[in-house]
Structure 1
Amino acid sequence: MAAVALAAGASALAAPAATAAPVSPLQPLSVMDELDALSADSVGPEHGEALPAPSEQLAGLNRLAGVPHDLDPLTSQLAPVTGLLGS
């Protein structure tokens, strides 16, 4: 999250300069590719491989969102037992 915030801040500083550059209509722009490029440029080369790219971090968050659905079979089997144990 810190890397995403850092990249977002860097992109806010680079926005005025980016408006001066001509944009080719043939090349589609990808927000995640630009965010990855900005974060790679803002981190030193000695730390670049240690930090995951923002796109990898967001992919990890998407996988994490599916965990409750993956646990549904287990929690449904434990539901009768938890009623007996009380709180």
Structure 2
Amino acid sequence: MISTRRIVAAVGLAVGVTGLAAPMANAAVSEAPKPLNPIAELDKLAVSEIPAEYQAALPKVSRQLAGLNRLNEGLDELHQVTDLAAPVTGVLPAIEP
């Protein structure tokens, strides 16, 4: 069996190590860099292997995603119009998104 002294010593050692490690971990967290922007990182990765003179010719990922957002907004507006016209015309109820 493990003696009580050994258990107390092991617990004391664990508390001591934790007490020393906590301030160091806190310092590492407080000096952490700003959070990463995934879209900016994708823009960097997309042109990382492309020669510098050709990088400007490629569309950025962020610009392409913005275009998709505009397309989705346009489709939502079209869907709102067709929802209003569907009961009047009787043509569109069979079409579901």
TM-score norm. by structure 2 comes to: 0.45
Larger-Rg structure: 2
Higher RCO, Cα 8 Å, sep 6+: 1
TM-score by length of 1: 0.49
